[in-house]
Structure 1
Amino acid sequence: MRAITYSRFGAAKDVLKLEDLAVPQAAEGEVLVRIRTSGVNPSDIRARAGGRPGVSEPPFPTIVPHSDGAGVIEAVGKGVTQSRIGERVWIWNGQWQRAFGTAAECIALPSEQAVKLPDHVSFEDGAVLGIPGLTACHSVLGGGTVEGRTVLVSGGAGTVGRLAIQVAVAFGARVLATARGEDGQKAAREAGAEHVFDYSDNDLADQILNATSGSPVDRIVEVEFGKNVETNTKVIAERGTIAAFGSAREMTPVLPFYPLMFKAVTIDLVLVYLLSAAERLAAVENLTTLLEKEALDIRISKVLPLEECASAHDMIAAGDRAGSVILTI
């Protein structure tokens, strides 16, 4: 089978190679999925570049990148019902703590990591559901219902942020968002945010509280925790939650501890790879419900063939895109 591999950290064009590998076999409890699309995420780029904390060399001799993807189950291992053969599925944690991810023609993985994809959902959209979709669902709903509450989504024009807005709106929240520039603010507004603010404004906290008539925010979905912690501290409600899934611009943040403590704020660090079984099931069920209701609009910025995987990595690293980058296989 054709597969993209790397054996050392480095620039995408230097380390990513197109190779011919043996088709894997579905072991007990596994399914073999014929991959149609592979989603490219910022975490895939950090992993390939050697940017994960404490990791100085690749954990496996040969790695096929990417955790997200979609395709069709072609074979099943012992203990998995034969009726799953031919099922359209999307994949989560395809390359998390495993050598071979979705940037290949086939992948074998535990059957629960291949989730049924509704017939009306494209394989391209399916490749966005693993990391972005589950992160959005858990960041919004991981603490329980948001119906009737106010949710602030940071980076509402990004892939996760834009999905988080839609999730929160669908589950009955009043949604505010931040974004960059006119296009970003328009994207967040079109996703359903009631008010959208430029996150670079110096008086951002005042603008948010003015929009809520002074009422603080119940839950914040945060893409840049370190950079935004001061603003979030000002606008978060007592016993509110900051669900943070990123802090790339300030990786060692200093916290205003006592202002947060005297509001009894919960800081929920969201790493979608490590959700508990119950959290994962809830996020998958919520995501499936939204897909079946056609309540999600997933933006795809670029679709490239497998052979152009390095270009896809560079697009993600550059950050100047309006949607997900997908490989077709």
Structure 2
Amino acid sequence: MKAIVYEQTGDPSVLKLVDRPVPEPGAGEVLVRLAVAGVNPTDFKARRQWPLPAGWQTPGQDGAGVVEAVGEGVDQGLIGERVWVWEAAWQRPWGTAAEYTVVPVRQAVRLGAAPFDLGACLGIPFLTAHRCLTVGEYMPEKLHAGALSDHVVLVQGGAGAVGNAAIQLARWADARVIATVSSPQKAQLAAAAGASFVVDYREQDVVEEVRKIAPEGVHTIVEVSPARNAAIDVQLLRPGGAVCVYADDGGDEVTLPIRPLMVPNARWQFVLVYTEPAVAKARAVRDVSAAVAQGAVRVGADAGLPLHHHPLAETAVAHQAVEDSLVGKALLITGEQ
């Protein structure tokens, strides 16, 4: 099979297209013939600094394709099923930037008739967004239609992949969603994703505009840039509200005022999908799958997430684009659609 491999950490030049034997699924595993793989910021961060326990790594956590074979103890009926894959490369060498990958069976989730492009976009962004929308003091453990009907959600950075996922999931759950963006183009993307209100933080006062919409404050803030936005977030939480931090764009340290957060019993929750509690991740996989089955989530420009397709041989180009803050989603075409 064709696969992208790197044997040392570094810039995109370490990524090489090679021929590798198709892996055999072990007990409890499935072999997936991939059609599309997603590229996330975590992929280039891993390529630059994560250790290589196997001495090599195929990058890519997310993808979609068809189950080709199953290991011992796995239902043979899964063979031929269309699936989406999550966390393929977390502490494992077989990522999704390849024609095949092998993962534990729970990490290959039935996709039904949904497009492979959608399946390849689900993993990291949607599971992260789900955690941000369910971990607050007054947020539900599970998402479904109506679960957030009396909630206001603020998505800081509504044009990114996680921001897009948070908007779509929150709207599916009937929240009022406010998104912040940095340009008119990104405002159009956030609105296409389903944001009820969009604030251009370069042109408008975020606190003033959000308070007009939600005078009592917001229940949850999905936060991409805590170092930049902390002072804003503190002013916008309602009592018991939560700021859910999933990235460190703009700085890796944040300073918080104690009393203004203590009085309303506010929460700052840090979110990393890989290490979140297993039960929370299982709920996220189930709920995201339900949203897909109900047609509640989409990808593409008309859903606020433009897609940029690259052949497998151009994985380095896709990695560089994501590292350069690509607007939209980079996908690798790894096999037949």
User: TM-score, normalized by length of structure 2?
Assistant: 0.91
The residue aligned with 1:187 is 189
The residue aligned with 2:143 is none
Q: Which amino acid aligns with 2:284?
A: A
1:133 match: secondary structure: helix
The residue aligned with 2:291 is 290
1:104-143 deviation line (CA, Å, top 9, x unaligned)? 1111111001000121x11111111110121122212344
Distance 1:176 1:228 in 2: 15
Give RMSD over aligned pairs. Answer: 1.4
Are 2:115 and 1:122 aligned? yes
The residue aligned with 1:8 is 8
Q: CA separation of 1:166/1:239 partners in 2, compared to 1, >3 Å: closer, same or farther?
A: same
Match of 1:141 among 119, 127, 134: 134
Q: Which amino acid aligns with 2:104?
A: P
Q: Which amino acid aligns with 2:206?
A: L
User: TM-score, normalized by length of structure 1?
Assistant: 0.93
Superposition map of 1:1-329 within 5 A: 1-12=1-12, 14-50=13-49, 55=50, 57-119=51-113, 121-142=114-135, 143-144=139-140, 145-201=147-203, 203-212=205-214, 214-299=215-300, 300-321=306-327, 323-329=328-334
Task: Count residues with an aligned counterpart.
Answer: 320
Distance 1:116 1:202 in 2: 43
Distance 2:45 2:274 in 1: 15
1:268-300 deviation line (CA, Å, top 9, x unaligned)? 211111232221121112111211111112134
Task: Point out where structure 1 has 5 or more consecutive residues left out of the alignment.
Answer: none
Mapped contact 2:9–2:47 kept (Cα < 8 A): yes
Task: Point out where structure 2 has 5 or more consecutive residues left out of the alignment.
Answer: 141-146, 301-305
Mapped contact 1:140–1:146 kept (Cα < 8 A): no
Q: CA deviation at 1:202?
A: 6.8
**Which consecutive aligned stretches of 4+ in structure 1 deviate over 3 angstroms post-superposition?**
57-60
1:166-185 deviation line (CA, Å, top 9, x unaligned)? 11111121111101110111
Distance 1:327 1:125 in 2: 13
Q: CA deviation at 1:218?
A: 0.9
1:128 match: secondary structure: helix
Distance 1:59 1:44 in 2: 16
Q: CA deviation at 1:211?
A: 2.4
Q: CA deviation at 1:201?
A: 4.7
Mapped contact 1:163–1:298 kept (Cα < 8 A): no
Distance 1:118 1:260 in 2: 44
Q: Which amino acid aligns with 2:9?
A: F
1:127 match: secondary structure: helix
How many percent identity over aligned positions? 38
Q: CA deviation at 1:320?
A: 3.4
Q: Which amino acid aligns with 1:328?
A: I
1:185-220 deviation line (CA, Å, top 9, x unaligned)? 1111222222111123573212211222x2211111
Larger CA deviation: 21-30 vs 296-305: 296-305
Distance 1:60 1:153 in 2: 38
